[in-house]
Amino acid sequence: MSLPPRRQRYWLRTLSMLGACLATTTAGTVYLFSTYGPALSQRLGLTSSQANVVAISSNYGQLLSGPLFGWAADTLGPRVLSALAAAGSFVAFSALAYTYEGTLGMPSWLLLSAYMVLVGLSSQSANMAAVTTTTKNFKRNRGSAVSICVAFFGLSPFVLSHVSTVFFAVGDTPDTFGYLKFLSFLGLGTSSLAALSLSVVGFGPSSRLRRDNIPDGFVVDHISDSSSGLLSDSLSDITTDDEQSLLLANGQQAARPAGGGGPGYGAGCEQGAANCSPAARQVSDPRGTPDGIDYDTARDLGGLAYLRDPEAQLLALVLFLCAGIGVFYNNNVGTMVNALYFSSTDNPDPSAAQRLINHHVAVVSLGSFAGRLAIGAITDLGKRLWDLPRSGILVVVVFSMVFSQVIAGAAETLSTLLLGSALTGLSYGFLFGIVPTLVSVWFGTSHFGSNWGMTTVLIGFSGQGLGAFFGYIYDANMPDQDPAKCKGGACYRDAFVLSVGVSMLGLLAAIVLARRRGDRRRENRRLWEAQEINHIEYVPFILAE
């Protein structure tokens, strides 16, 4: 089937983007255990250890299923995944609700863990469908599009926790059953809408350059959607008015295919001719970079080839080390707030302490949302206006994580810790906003879903490792668990020595990766300009609309 007209593609892509944002907004239900977990544990008489196992189960269900759902997003399409997310979310939260109410009659904490695993699976299914679709629908503004999509995932806990406060935490007893039923219908409704709206439309033909500008051996990012039948990124054989205007403005002839040359070739320059110099083929983009070429792009890798690639391994290592810090911090910020509050107040109020904890959680969530939203625009504009390498931006992002841990670890007052919470959330958002873009740009979009799933699969282990170390330090210094004795956070400060060290290792890995990518960009440009294109693996592509 031929590619639909430009306007039709535009509306389909817009509809898919709205569906993706809707799906990721409710995919964040995986982080909401703290809003209903205490009431559920109290009603069912769970111990603290059992409650922690139940809470952790959703995280492992989400992270460990990444490769599977990533593969499914690439092969089955987003609509199948969205339908699975709708059914899974409805069943999981309904089971939790009726277990809480006593109707289900099976209050075992092992069954609750199984329900939470299903919550994590549903969250990952919805998230993978949304992010994979967005990645495959955008090229030139891919960073901004992906960051908007994942930003709503970061905002989700903030929005839904406030829904709980406003509508279900009223009166003397919170309506936990009603809240869980609300979450079940919310997941069912939003993921069903996503199943109807998500589709891989593709990039469409470039409005500036045509495929004839690509020498044999170089690859334009190509996608096909088996579920919709829409070819994506096949380039039109007709030179558009925009292309002709651009070529004429650069003093070049817009030759038709019948003449043997593409619009990027000068007069008399035959397509693929050996004597066709790079200068004859150059078409300047607005920033003056020849050919509009993004030399930062790489191979179309997937499966074992992706796992064995050194750059993919370095990128996964950066995410493993630094994203785990965000998981650790979010899980333990309540303990830190309690320690600083109770040790600095003569007449502490437990309700006031809980409000302070909620405030810090909200700040982390908003910081994550802002970071995810901003980094895409920063990356796209930096690349387009100043040709800033994406790997260099990644180094700055990881450095911000190091700085956030230094501030949070040194905090002796709640106001300083609030700054640490904001910086940690912002850095965490930066990281999850830029890394999906790097995976798609450096390793292609054909296998993006499975590649992204494999990249994120180990994050939970680093987060749990840091959290376990924090708990060990806190318990060793506070055997009686009295936060009033933890003056200025001294009882847990040593735990941040590890988090700072881990983030420094992540910074080192990011620097090594940036150096490798710099060498790769220079080699890509040399190959392109010299037309040494036989049997090469790393290939640049022309920026599309």
Residue 302 forms part of a structural domain: yes
Q: What are phi and psi of 132, to 5 degrees?
A: -65, -45
Residue 398 forms part of a structural domain: yes
Q: Are 215 and 224 contacting, i.e. CB atoms less than 8 angstroms apart? A: no
The enclosing domain of 441 has a CATH number of 1.20.1250.20
Residue 387 forms part of a structural domain: yes
Whole-angstrom CA distances from 439 to 232, 314, 442 are 19, 12, 5
Give the distance from CA 155 to its chain's centroid.
Answer: 13
Task: Give the residue ranges of DSSP H helices in 411-494.
Answer: 414-443, 448-456, 459-477
Q: Are 132 and 436 contacting, i.e. CB atoms less than 8 angstroms apart? A: no
**3-state class (DSSP) for residue 105:** coil
Residue whose pair of structure tokens reads 């060498």 in the numeric block: 519
Confidence (pLDDT) at 292:
52
Q: What are phi and psi of 12, to 5 degrees?
A: -65, -40
Residue 544 forms part of a structural domain: yes
Residue whose pair of structure tokens reads 């309904």 in the numeric block: 94
Domain total in the chain:
3
User: Which residues face 455 on adjacent strands?
Assistant: none
Q: First vs last Cα of the chain: how many Å apart?
A: 21
Domain shared by 252 and 162, yes or no = no
Neighbours of 349 (CB within 10 A): 12
Domain shared by 47 and 166, yes or no = yes
Q: 48-51: list long-range contacts, CB under 8 Å, 24+ apart.
A: 50/109, 51/109
- Backbone CA torsion sign across 113, 114, 115, 119: positive
Segments of the chain scoring below 70 in pLDDT? 1-6, 38, 47-49, 52, 106-107, 140, 143, 170-172, 202-299, 351, 354, 528, 531-545
Domain interval for residue 484: 292-545
Q: Are 61 and 121 contacting, i.e. CB atoms less than 8 angstroms apart? A: yes
Domain shared by 530 and 463, yes or no = yes
Residue 368 forms part of a structural domain: yes
Spell out the residues 6+ positions from residue 366 whose beta carbon is closer than 8 angstroms to its own: 155, 158, 422, 425
Residue 285 forms part of a structural domain: no
**3-state class (DSSP) for residue 294:** strand
Neighbours of 166 (CB within 10 A): 9
Last residue of a domain, one of 148, 182, 200: 200
Domain shared by 156 and 259, yes or no = no
Q: What are phi and psi of 371, to 5 degrees?
A: -65, -45
Confidence (pLDDT) at 164:
78
Domain shared by 195 and 218, yes or no = no
Domain shared by 333 and 234, yes or no = no
Residue 283 forms part of a structural domain: no
Task: Let me know if 536 is exposed, middle or buried by CB neighbors in 10 A (0-12, 13-18, 19+).
Answer: middle
Confidence (pLDDT) at 318:
94
Domain shared by 251 and 344, yes or no = no
Half-sphere exposure of 312 (CA within 13 A, CB side): 26
Last residue of a domain, one of 200, 232, 263: 200
CA-based Rg of the chain, rounded to a whole angstrom? 25
**3-state class (DSSP) for residue 541:** strand
Residue 523 forms part of a structural domain: yes
User: Which residues face 224 on adjacent strands?
Assistant: 231
Confidence (pLDDT) at 453:
84
Domain shared by 300 and 194, yes or no = no
Closest by Cα among 163, 159, 192 to 179: 163
Domain shared by 345 and 264, yes or no = no
> Diameter of the chain by CA atoms?
87
Residue whose pair of structure tokens reads 């709640």 in the numeric block: 414
Name the pTM for this structure.
Answer: 0.68
- Backbone CA torsion sign across 449, 424, 481, 161: negative
Domain shared by 268 and 157, yes or no = no
Task: Let me know if 80 is exposed, middle or buried by CB neighbors in 10 A (0-12, 13-18, 19+).
Answer: middle
Last residue of a domain, one of 200, 221, 238: 200
Domain shared by 223 and 90, yes or no = no
Reading phi first (left if > 0) and then psi (alpha if -120 to 50, else beta), residue 20 is in alpha
Domain shared by 305 and 371, yes or no = yes
